[in-house]
Structure 1
Amino acid sequence: MAIRSLFVTRLYRAALSAHGPAIDPGELEASCLSVAEDDEAGQDWCEANAFPGYTSYASLTDLPWRFPIFADLVKSLDAHVAAFAGDLAFDLGERKLELEDLWINILPEGGTHSGHLHPHSVISGTTYVAMPEGTSAIRFEDPRLPMMMAAPTRRKDAPEELRTFHYETPAVGDVVLWESWLRHEVPMNMTEEDRISVSFNYRWG
């Protein structure tokens, strides 16, 4: 008998510092908070859309220009994404994966980010700036789930690669990457402190 795993879903996790310029976590956190405080358009969008906390996704597209630390962050992310693309065996030809957008997320107590994917990108990811003890992991969903109409649930002791959902609990300074079609969400932040991260998308060419 032979049983193999097919159509594998890869998840990349590394220390941000493994590639690129050294980035001071305290400076990055202060920069995120400063942007959130000054970004009135972003605040208005969050309020109008009942978005918990703050995101710069709908308001700012030039963070690397505004703050040198975000420019350094992009240099590091470029190297991480290139490493992940190599692991995925992507044939990129003469084109490379390029940053499409980069945005700040500040999730307060009680805030959630509901399940979603990033359909116009190739690789998406997040680097973690503030992760208070007990705050939310990021939850990934088996992309085959909509087709499992009659399948029984998995046992609680099922191996990681057979589970329907996977919870990844990053630490401050980690970067997590996944293919953009992979559905993910952030469950409710149950701590009193803000969960801060910087998310991004990379497109091909």
Structure 2
Amino acid sequence: MADISSLFVTRLYRARLNELGDDISTDELEASCWAIYEDDEAGQRWCETEGYPGYTSYASLTDLPWRFPIFADVVAALDKHVAAFAEDLEFDLGEGKLVLEDIWINILPEGGTHSSHLHPHSVISGTTYVSMPDGASALKLEDPRSARLMAAPPRRKSAREDLRTFVYVAPQVGDVLLWESWLRHEVPMNQAEDERISVSFNYKWEG
């Protein structure tokens, strides 16, 4: 009988933000996201100038954990999740460690999208989900080998998840998803009437 194995596996980490002993209120986190949005005139201007749908603090604020204590609590929880994921990935970090590089808010209105992208210069990227109304878009992940598939025929619609070209992950409020930063991903059109709110972040290797 043929011996068929999987090689060069792409890992996706999914957990509850609070499952490692933290007690973070998503209601308080959502209220903090809205408060920051209302005060961040520079971020609002950047989004309008760049045609960015909704709001992101990515281009305007770099100190969320300092501004609101709940973001410091979120980072403390994320540090544990990232450490667990790094262990699963069997990274040899030597004397170094993975540390937060940046963290930002995303508020995506009805009809808004985040186009396909990756996060260069980072090691682990991810998102924790604050508000996911009915119809909110899933996270779309792309097979990193897509550019090398060349003449390969398409996969069957019923193909198992680890063989699909695209995988859609529908997170729930309070989930945290982690992936290696080279993995291309996007947020398809938000079809919910209410805003889809999330907090995204990058971790870098610091020796």
TM-score by length of 2: 0.98
| Number of matched pairs | 205
How do 1:13-52 and structure 2 match up within 5 A?
Answer: 13-52=14-53
Question: Partners in 2 of 1:30 and 1:120 — Cα distance?
Answer: 31
RMSD of aligned residue pairs (Cα, Å):
0.6
* Aligned-pair CA distance for 1:30: 0.2
1:9 aligned residue: 10
Check 1:20–1:38 CA distance in 2 against 1; reply closer, same or farther (3 A cut).
farther
* Aligned-pair CA distance for 1:20: 4.7
Point out 4+ residue stretches in structure 1 off by more than 6 angstroms. Answer: none
Question: Partners in 1 of 2:122 and 2:98 — Cα distance?
Answer: 10
Answer yes or no: is the 8 Å Cα contact 1:20–1:75 preserved in 2: no
Matched, 1:183 2:184: yes
Question: Partners in 1 of 2:52 and 2:21 — Cα distance?
Answer: 32
Question: Partners in 1 of 2:157 and 2:77 — Cα distance?
Answer: 37
Gaps of 5+ in 1: none
TM-score by length of 1: 0.99
Q: Give the aligned residue type for 1:21.
A: D
Q: Give the aligned residue type for 1:71.
A: A
Q: Give the aligned residue type for 1:41.
A: A
Answer yes or no: is the 8 Å Cα contact 1:19–1:79 preserved in 2: yes
After superposition, give the CA deviation of every residue in 1:113-149 in whole Å (9 maximum; x if it has no partner): 0000001100000000000012100000000001111
Q: Give the aligned residue type for 2:68.
A: F
Answer yes or no: is the 8 Å Cα contact 1:12–1:176 preserved in 2: yes
How do 1:72-151 and structure 2 match up within 5 A?
Answer: 72-151=73-152
Answer yes or no: is the 8 Å Cα contact 1:104–1:199 preserved in 2: yes
Question: Percent sequence identity over matched residues?
Answer: 73
1:59 aligned residue: 60
